[in-house]
Amino acid sequence: MTVSPRLQTLVSWDSDWSGLRVVVTGIGVSGFAAADTLIELGARVVVVDAATSDKAKAHADTLKIVGAADVLLGEDAVTRIPRIDGGLPELIVTSPGWRPDQALLAAAARAHIPVWGDVELAWRVRVREGRKTADWLAITGTNGKTTTVGLTESMLRAGGLKAIAVGNVGTPILDALRDPVEYDVLAVELSSFQLHWSESISPVASVCLNVAEDHVDWHGSYDSYLADKAKVYERTQKACLYNAEQIETERMVENADVVEGCRAVGFTTVTPAVSMLGVVEGLLVDRAFIEERRDSAAELASMTDLGALAPRHMVANALAAAGLVRAYGIEPKAVRQGIQDYVPGDHRIQPVARHNGVLWINDSKATNPHAASASLAAFSNVIWIAGGLSKGVTYDDLVREHAPRLKAVVLIGADSSALADALRRHAPDVPVIGTAPGETEQVQTAATDGTEAGSPDAGKTVMSRAVASAAQLAASGDTVLMAPAAASMDQFSSYAHRGDTFIEAVRELVEGQAQTGEE
């Protein structure tokens, strides 16, 4: 798509944004930040969203108060391009969740109206007269992004820099750019959606942690998903970090158009080759960012610094973060300190309880098969609570790989038929609870007590029954792992809501057994 001459000039906060006609799609966290920023820049803004919730209306009222913005809510608002001052918009800034085939965005493509994401807008306005321009370290991957961006932030801070984790992690980049704190560097978590709508980002260092089938429904195909993930490496200045145990990420680097002199640096959970980071005798080491890398390595941290539960993928995430900050010039001692200082987020292989010899683990963040595989690999004798929105992925490889460690499976989700079918094919001897009415105990339906499917009460009922079923199946030495391998929105408001509901159900179970003296 040909970019208009005016848009080509918009490369800093101080460029002439005044009067630019912009439609912002979405009034959630990123959409609100984009609209608020554009209003501050002097653009003429119209915001559209299908939502009519109280939260959406509150955001709309705020935007109307702070500046020149019209807000259109409801299903009709997102079916066509709104006109601004009698003409078509010059630019559309979209929230990352909006698919390219959504009616308004598809109409924009037909009308040759450029579409940016909020991340692209943030890159364009990052330079501002009188303020420090923060460097970017870019992180993507099917799984592990939030952990890695948090570790990167922690290591940078341990090195004495003003740093913040932003992007898909929760804090919009645009908010950080307008923060009174002038950051030295941003650790930027980028989803495949955000990368799809980006075109000019040039990070100091970048990484794609891993790739696996995910969000095929959004991208249309796995190849399209990979192509968007690969955009993280484009225009990288100093170092492209890749997963040496996954050839796809290495090929992404090989095909990337980077700044002259940019290095390709691998990371691995085994002994590293030259110009890589890896593990030697329980130590995380660097053979990339030292002068004597051909015959020596710099110690960065020990496995014990990662905590009692340090599964393989957590080690990989730590090495990726270390590679990013080492490329930025952070010393090894700050890498170790950053790992020690880092507090893992909830819902990521989170121990919830150990009762009567049974370990209960919440990994609600495992929203796809690749993430669930990492969780399953960390345990044996597993009662697996799984299911939810599949996002168009398949489960055959996941079940085939981990069938030997499964003691039983408890299905949740409004429709977990794809996972149930894979279990029948590849783990026929593993008991499955909740596969279909009449076959086994129906865990996944809340209709029997009058609750409405999809409501908070329904989600609580679903999880309470799943936890109760798992408790009946578990014996001392077993692990009950809630790693759904699917999205949550069919029965819960988010993966965090699903995880919190699991934690609550487990605690109620443990407290109930303690009060009755049940062993």
Please give the C-alpha separations between residue 81 and each of 20, 38, 73, in angstroms, as whole numbers. 16, 18, 13
What pLDDT, on the 0 to 100 scale, is given for residue 447? 29
For 24-92, give the DSSP string: EE--SHHHHHHHHHHHHHT-EEEEEES--SHHHHHHHHHHHHHSSEEEEESGGGGSSPPPBTTB--SEE
Buried b (16+ CB within 10 A) or exposed e, 122-156: bbbbbeeeeeeebbbbbbbbbbbbbbbbbbbbbbb
pLDDT for res 451: 36
CA 453 to chain centre: 26
CA distance 447 to 327: 55
Rounded average pLDDT over 191-200: 93
Q: Residue 435 pLDDT more than 50?
A: no
Tell me the average pLDDT across 460-471: 91
- Residue spans of alpha helices (H) in 291-331: 312-328
What single-letter DSSP state applies at residue 447? G
Give the SS3 label for residue 261: coil
Asked whether residue 146 is marked as a ligand-binding residue, the answer is yes
Q: How confident is the model at residue 436 (pLDDT cuts 50, 70, 90)?
A: very low
pLDDT mean over 362-384: 89
Residue 143 has pLDDT above 90, yes or no: no
Q: Whole-number mean pLDDT of the chain?
A: 89
Claim: this prediction has a pTM higher than 0.85: no
Per-residue pLDDT reduced to its tens digit, 297-317: 999 999 999 876 677 888 999
Instruction: Give me the CATH topology for the region 19-113.
Output: Rossmann fold (3.40.50)
Binning the chain into helix, strand and coil, the percentages to the nearest 5 are 40, 20, 40
Q: What is the pLDDT of residue 454?
A: 43
Q: What architecture (CATH level 2) is domain 129-341? A: 3-Layer(aba) Sandwich (3.40)
CA 275/CA 263 separation, integer angstroms: 9
Asked if residue 143 belongs to a known ligand binding site, the reply is: yes
Q: Is the dihedral of CA 168, 173, 176, 182 positive or negative?
A: positive
pLDDT at 136 over 90: yes
Q: Is 387 helix (H, G, I), strand (E, B) or coil?
A: coil
Consult the annotation and say whether 460 binds a ligand: no
pLDDT attached to residue 449: 34
- 141 carries a ligand binding annotation: yes
The amino acid at 330: I
Is position 356 annotated in a ligand binding site? no
Pick the CATH number of 350-513 from 3.50.50.60, 3.30.200.20, 3.20.20.70, 3.90.190.20: 3.90.190.20
- If pLDDT is split at 50, 70 and 90, which confidence band does 255 have? very high
> CA 239, 242, 245 angle in degrees (round to 5)?
155
Say if residue 414's pLDDT is above 90: no
Q: Is 282 annotated as a binding residue?
A: no
144 among the known binding-site residues? yes
Would the pLDDT of 416 be above 90?
no
Domain coordinates in residue numbering, the chain = 19-113, 129-341, 350-513
C-alpha 188/C-alpha 54 separation (Å) is 30
